[in-house]
């Protein structure tokens, strides 16, 4: 039997055809546009993404060579939200990206409730998440309020819209529901407090479902959509993350450091607590620190430095480069453990006529944020293994060695590039036993340069008054 996996990410949609041995026998990618209409505004066209999924799904079916396909899985970028018509499935708004922080003014009126929200939902109050985006969109679109009163629209993450459009059935899986700021993590249902706070009628939200679930048949085929899950959760599962105490990182357009805490949720300051995996039998929870700017940081620098995308190749550019300078990437704000809104990139002691030094400082910022997140786990008295397995397109050698040096963690880069797709496959086919060894390791080295730069980073964070919800990093 073959399996179709769709991995819908920030800048592209990928599709994979797996055989029953866990081997990829066909795959393809379609890129889509990230629209930036205003500063700190980022959008996607949901129809463009849906059409890409349709095209790739048909391509995977055509490549099956008469082998049966009964099940498919879908992983999706998480904190991207939109409104759509319940009956026609027509999008009412663009898909407001996880990178978007336009709702930053909206959250001010909820500030006094942020601690209670965090305790209920496991998620910090941030314009990147669902509740504030709902408030912003309804505040700036009177037509939406009318449609909500008439019970004609759904509000939810992009994953819910895609699930609805693919199967004809509205549903929202638990793993991505954690990004709404409306989900009661301990009760596995919508929070009455959060719904009342953000003035969201429950009828406006898709029904909650486990990640592993029969969502319906895809595009009128006989293939059942059997899994919908957040892309970062899938990446950790692809790194054997269903094992308790597993630690993994995924560096793509954004980054994520995740830790499997078992069958009971842990709410910890500075970190997101959410569901890693769910079925009708069990929930598995994780703690996570996110980094908003990974590969997206280099896309931003391409524009700033007028470098053609094909000529960026940042890993090669910076191998023998050192700099005194520091870059704090602010285009999408800072996530864990700072949780700030978007701000102008901060450049310290970086000459504009030395683009490779700027790129080097950008790469180092990813390492510093990784270190800050790992320290946040430590401050919360979470004992982590000293080995960190990583995956993703941004997991390049210069970054990984830098992270190893400043954190003291042994870093292991997996042989399989598409760990997210593999994670979805493991959910669909849990009996698969084949494990591939990591092909590259990065062992911590004594590095006076990294030590000095880490001190400079901490000084820059302090001097630029980066708001911290977790003090004394």
Q: Which helix (H) or strand (E) holds 184?
A: strand 183-184
3-class SS string, 70-117: EEEEEEECCCCEEEEECCCCCECCCEECCCCCHHHCHHHHHHHHHHHH
In this predicted structure, the answer to whether residue 177 has a pLDDT above a threshold of 70 is yes
Mean pLDDT of all residues in 263-276? 96
Residue 472 pLDDT > 80, yes or no?
no
Whole-Å CA distances, 375 to 122, 175, 182, 313, 378: 19, 25, 28, 30, 5
Q: Which residue has the tokens 């996110």?
A: 290
Residue 214: alpha-carbon gap to chain centroid: 24
pLDDT at residue 468 is higher than 90: no
Q: Residue 310: which residues within 8 A CB-CB, separation 6 or more?
A: none
DSSP E strands, 281-397: 283-291, 326-328, 346-348, 387-391
Q: Which is nearest to 67 in space by CA: 227, 225, 223?
A: 223
pLDDT higher than threshold 60 for residue 129: yes
Check: CB of residue 427 under 8 Å from CB of residue 3: no
Banded model confidence at residue 297, pLDDT cuts 50, 70, 90? very high
Span 3-21, mean pLDDT?
A: 95
Instruction: Mention every residue, 6+ apart, whose C-beta is less than 8 A from residue 449.
Output: 322
**What is the average per-residue pLDDT within 32-40?**
90
Q: What tens digit of pLDDT does each residue of 298-315 get?
A: 998 999 999 999 899 999
Q: What is the pLDDT of residue 415?
A: 74
CA angle in degrees (0–180, nearest 5) for 177-181-182: 70
User: pTM score, two decimals?
Assistant: 0.93
- For residues 169-181, average pLDDT: 97
Query: Torsion over CA of 112, 105, 274 and 33, rounded to 10 degrees?
Result: 180
pLDDT for the residue 470: 40
Over range 160-187, report the average pLDDT. 97
List Cα–Cα distances, 377 to 154, 258, 263, 270, 313, in angstroms: 36, 10, 18, 9, 32
Tell the residue number behind the tokens 């995308």, with chain if given.
309
Nearest residue to 382 via CA among 239, 242, 261, 273: 261
Q: What integer pLDDT is reported at residue 466 of this predicted model?
A: 73
Q: What is the pLDDT of residues 382-434, one digit of tens each?
A: 999 999 999 988 999 999 999 999 999 999 998 777 889 999 999 999 887 65
User: How does residue 39 score in pLDDT terms, banded at 50, 70 and 90?
Assistant: confident
- pLDDT given at position 329: 94
How far is 112 from 139, CA to CA, in rounded Å? 20
Whole-number percent of the chain with pLDDT over 70: 97
Instruction: Share the mean pLDDT of the chain.
Output: 93
Q: Does residue 219 have a pLDDT over 90?
A: yes
All structural domains of the chain, each given as residue ranges with its CATH number in brackets, are: 2-231 (3.30.420.40), 240-413+443-473 (3.30.420.40)
Tokens coding 155: 């509000």
Query: pLDDT tens digits for 325-349?
Result: 999 998 888 999 999 888 889 999 9
266 has a pLDDT exceeding 80: yes
Of the pLDDT bands very low, low, confident and very high (cuts 50, 70, 90), residue 86 is very high
């Amino acid at each position: 039997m073959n399996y179709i996996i769709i991995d819908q990410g920030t800048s592209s949609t990928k599709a994979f055809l797996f055989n029953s041995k866990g081997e990829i026998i066909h795959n393809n990618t379609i890129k889509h546009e990230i629209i930036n209409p205003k500063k700190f505004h980022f959008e996607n066209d949901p129809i463009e993404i849906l059409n890409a999924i349709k095209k790739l799904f048909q391509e995977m079916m055509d490549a099956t060579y008469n082998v049966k396909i009964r099940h498919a899985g879908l992983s999706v970028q998480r904190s991207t939200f939109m409104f759509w018509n319940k009956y026609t499935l027509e999008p009412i708004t663009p898909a407001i990206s996880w990178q978007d922080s336009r709702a930053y003014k909206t959250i001010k009126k909820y500030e006094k409730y942020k601690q209670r929200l965090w305790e209920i939902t496991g998620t910090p109050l941030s314009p990147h998440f669902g509740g504030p985006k709902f408030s912003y969109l309804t505040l700036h679109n009177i037509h939406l309020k009318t449609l909500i009163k008439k019970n004609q629209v759904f509000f939810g993450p992009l994953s819910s819209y895609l699930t609805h459009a693919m199967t004809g059935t509205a549903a929202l899986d638990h793993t991505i529901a954690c990004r709404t700021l409306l989900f009661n993590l301990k009760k596995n249902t919508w929070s009455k407090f959060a719904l009342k706070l953000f003035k969201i009628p429950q009828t406006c939200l898709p029904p909650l479902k486990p990640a592993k679930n029969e969502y319906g048949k895809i595009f009128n085929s006989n293939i059942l959509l059997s899994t919908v899950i957040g892309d970062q959760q899938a990446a950790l599962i692809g790194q054997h993350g269903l094992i308790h105490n597993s630690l993994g990182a995924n560096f793509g357009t954004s980054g994520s450091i995740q830790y499997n805490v078992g069958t009971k949720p842990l709410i910890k300051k500075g970190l997101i607590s959410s569901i890693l995996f769910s079925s009708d039998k069990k929930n598995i929870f994780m703690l996570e620190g996110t980094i908003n700017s990974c590969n997206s940081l280099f896309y931003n620098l391409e524009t700033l430095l007028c470098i053609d995308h094909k000529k960026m190749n940042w890993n090669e550019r910076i191998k023998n480069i050192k700099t005194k300078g520091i870059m704090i990437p602010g285009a999408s704000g800072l996530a864990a453990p700072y949780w700030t809104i978007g701000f102008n990139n901060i450049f310290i002691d970086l000459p504009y006529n030395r683009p490779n030094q700027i790129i080097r400082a950008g790469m180092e910022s990813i390492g510093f944020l990784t270190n800050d997140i790992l320290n946040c786990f430590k401050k919360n008295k979470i004992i982590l293994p000293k080995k960190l397995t990583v995956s993703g397109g941004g997991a390049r050698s210069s970054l990984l060695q830098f992270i190893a040096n400043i954190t003291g963690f042994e870093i292991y880069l997996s042989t399989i590039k598409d760990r997210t797709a593999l994670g979805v496959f493991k959910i669909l086919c849990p009996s698969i036993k084949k494990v591939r060894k990591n092909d590259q390791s990065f062992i911590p080295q004594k590095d006076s340069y990294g030590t000095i730069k880490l001190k400079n980073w901490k000084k820059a964070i302090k001097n630029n008054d980066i708001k911290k919800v977790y003090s004394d990093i």
